[in-house]
Amino acid sequence: LAFGSAISTQSPLSTQTGYMSTSNRVNVLVMGYGGGKHQGANLTDSMIVMSVLPQSQHTTLISVPRDLWVQVPAGSGHYQKINSVYSVSSNNGNDPTAGGNAAAQKISLITGLDVKYWMTINFEGFRDLINSIGGIDVYVPNSFTARYPKNDDPTIDPNWIKVHFSKGVQHMDGETAIRYARAREVINNPAEGTDFARSARQQVIIKAALSKVKQVSTWPHLFNAMDALRNTIYTNMSLADLGEFALKMDLTNGHRVGLSNQNVLVDGQSSDGQYILKPANNNWQGIIDYIKQKLYN
């Protein structure tokens, strides 16, 4: 396969342990980052845990906000936003395995879930993936207009532009899907300009993309999708495990959970003036309890 070098060469976990045939919950951390050569290219601004019960296929998507303030590296006493864990631990993307493992370990501590598996994808790869499967249909619950920064690919948009999304079902190609997921500087609907709104939109985009991949009519295009992901995806799962995991997910009835300042987090400011998020009352156990309560069992 064209992107085989980015997939783990270990024996499929499904043959090692039969983990997809058990009732154990399987958790995969999916991280999205900008890529390229600009500053912050390897910051994982999208961090979503896909939690699946293989027997029932019940699926929960859990968004962890990028501004959560954590120790990086673990036990160092030095604090940074959680979106920096992958970048720091991977030596700015040079060691994806170290970065992925460190991020999964950090997310495990925060959520109380056993997150053994992880996947990273940059925006170029995600754009190409959406295009390779013929685009996706997304329900937009609220209309909004936003200022959008120049593209990571200057042949698409070399300057800032305005983007608009109308309420209702919209068919999106790869670039439109990324704009919808990342739009931050919203002009006319402040609620859509928060990172929490962005996290919710990212969940919707991922759900729509994976649902499209599972459709039989899409299967002839899967090799194109694999080519699109070449050099843009890294994971510690084997190709067999990835396929089985995707087939086991019930995204039609999937449950979505977002950690925010409306439930278990509070706004704060770091000593150097950054906007950050912390656990309410500094109670990390409260996050674990909240997720346990919200999981789709």
Going along the chain from its start, the domains and CATH numbers come out as 4-123+217-294 (3.30.420.590), 125-199 (no CATH)
Task: Please give the C-alpha separations between residue 241 and each of 15, 168, 180, in angstroms, as whole numbers.
Answer: 9, 35, 29
CA–CA separation, 35 and 96 (whole Å): 12
Give me the mean pLDDT over the 76-88 stretch: 94
Cβ(180)–Cβ(138) below 8 Å: yes
- Please tell me which residue, 103 or 10, carries the higher pLDDT value: 103
Q: What is the mean pLDDT of the segment spanning 61-68?
A: 95
Residue range 283-296: mean pLDDT, rounded = 94
| CA separation for the pair 105, 115 (Å, rounded) | 7
pLDDT of residue 172: 97
Question: Tens digits of per-residue pLDDT, 135-169?
Answer: 999 999 999 999 887 665 666 666 788 999 999 99
pLDDT at 2: 37
For 198, the token pair is 């962005």
Q: Give the confidence band of 38 by pLDDT, cuts at 50, 70, 90.
A: low
pLDDT digits (tens, 9 = 90+) for 246-280: 778 887 777 889 999 999 999 999 999 999 999 99
Q: Is the dihedral of CA 10, 14, 17, 23 positive or negative?
A: positive
| Beta strand pairing call for 168-172 and 46-53 | unpaired
pLDDT of residue 192: 92
Task: Return the structure tokens found at 187.
Answer: 């002009």
Does the pTM surpass 0.95? The reply is no
pLDDT at 220 > cutoff 90: no
Question: Which of 26, 35, 48, 85 lies closest to 200, judged by CA?
Answer: 48
Encoding tokens for residue 231? 């050099």
State the pLDDT at residue 255.
Answer: 87
Conformation bin of residue 45: beta by default, left when phi > 0, alpha when psi is -120 to 50: alpha
pLDDT band at 230 (very low <50, low <70, confident <90, very high): low
Residue 41's pLDDT is: 85
Residue 297 has pLDDT above 70, yes or no: no
- What is residue 293's predicted lDDT score, i.e. its pLDDT? 94
Lowest mean pLDDT among 37-46, 185-194, 288-297: 37-46
Which residues are 120's β-sheet partners? 31, 234
pLDDT of residue 228: 66
Mean pLDDT of the region 113-123: 92
Higher local confidence (pLDDT), 73 or 95? 95
Are residues 135 and 173 in contact, defined by beta-carbon separation less than 8 angstroms?
yes
More confident of the two residues 10 and 226: 226
- Beta bridge partners of residue 121, listed in sequence order: 32, 233
pLDDT value for 213: 78
* 102 band by pLDDT with thresholds 50, 70 and 90: very high
pLDDT for 108 equals: 98
Q: Write down the pLDDT at residue 164.
A: 95
